[in-house]
Amino acid sequence: MAEDKYSILLPTYNERENLPIIVWLLEKHLCDVNHEVIIIDDGSPDKTLDVAKELQKIYGKDKIVLRPREKKLGLGTAYIHGIKHATGNFVIIMDADLSHHPKFIPEFIKKQKDGDFDIVSGTRYSGSGGVYGWDLKRKIISRGANYVTQILLRPGASDLTGSFRLYRKEVLEKLVKACVSKGYVFQMEMIVRARQFGFTIGEVPISFVDRVYGESKLGGSEIIQFAKGLLYLFATT
């Protein structure tokens, strides 16, 4: 059997302070693992792409792959764009703002192997998982979204809106094709569809730490989109 390879998708929008740290941490924690990091920058005004190019010079073109786009086209389509260029048989998606710590990735990999899972999802809402640094409003939104979705769709995973996950590549491709939503609701739809298809999901508790540098791109319109997406899935699945 060929050795497993892991493609890490890092979507970035204005992450110039965070990118060197996340890449350094990834290389530190994945030194024993065959991997590549695919950076999908959407024309960040803070010139994140220039930083990414410097990192590529340091770590090499086989480790750091750049797949930029001209302008901000959203997180969902950034993943779709990244998957097309992934050469690994497993794909890991995570945020680039240090909210998702690379130290958990070896645990994801172990979990996948132990249970032969199709998906391993990082969870803030089970076991030792948690959220640090969010204000009450943000906590309520996230908890609320998870709670309502649990009741309406019974998806069989504890963290539906999180985006720190490992997928078999062919599973991710199939799910992405099946998903209709873009934006923030995308993560939740992926898990709901996974259950429809009968894919198996393992969970690893993670601590999510709010970003230090830069700003979240979550706003009121994303919350409305989420609610619409949830109702759509409730009506159609």
Which of the choices Mn ion, ligand GDD, none does residue 149 contact, using the CB cut-off of 5 to 8 A by kind? none
- Binding flag, residue 125, ligand GDD (CB under 6 A): no
Q: Does 163 bind Mn ion (CB under 5 A)?
A: no
User: Given candidates 99, 112, 163, 187, which one binds Mn ion under the rule CB under 5 A?
Assistant: 99
Backbone phi and psi for residue 40, each to the nearest 5 degrees, phi listed first: -115, 95
Q: Does 36 bind ligand GDD (CB under 6 A)?
A: no
Find tokens 């934006």 and name the residue. 183
Among 162, 183, 202, 229, interactor with ligand GDD by CB under 6 A: 162
Residue 130 has which token pair? Answer: 């948690």
Q: Where are the alpha helices (DSSP H) in 30-185?
A: 48-59, 75-84, 105-115, 136-153, 169-178
Collect all residues with Cβ–Cβ distance below 8 Å to 35 and sequence separation of at least 6: 5, 6, 7, 8, 26, 63, 88
Binding partner selected for residue 11 from ligand GDD, Mn ion, none, CB under the kind-specific 5 to 8 Å limit: ligand GDD
When asked if residue 96 is in the footprint of ligand GDD (CB under 6 A), the reply is yes
Residue 15 as a binder of Mn ion (CB under 5 A): the answer is no
90 binds, among ligand GDD, Mn ion, none (CB under 5 to 8 A by kind): none
Contact status: 184 vs ligand GDD (CB under 6 A): yes
3-state SS class at 43? coil
Q: Which does 218 bind (CB under 5 to 8 A by kind): ligand GDD, Mn ion, none?
A: ligand GDD
Strand, helix or coil for residue 225:
helix
Please tell me the count of residues contacting ligand GDD according to CB under 6 A: 25
d(CA 9, CA 39): 6
- Contact flag: residue 18 with Mn ion (CB under 5 A): no
Helix axis angle, 186-197 to 220-236, nearest 10°: 20
- The span from the CA of 224 to the CA of 180, in Å, is 16
Interface residue list for Mn ion (CB under 5 A): 97, 99, 211
Interface residue list for ligand GDD (CB under 6 A): 11-13, 15, 40-42, 72, 74-75, 78, 95-97, 99, 142, 161-163, 184, 187, 211, 216-218
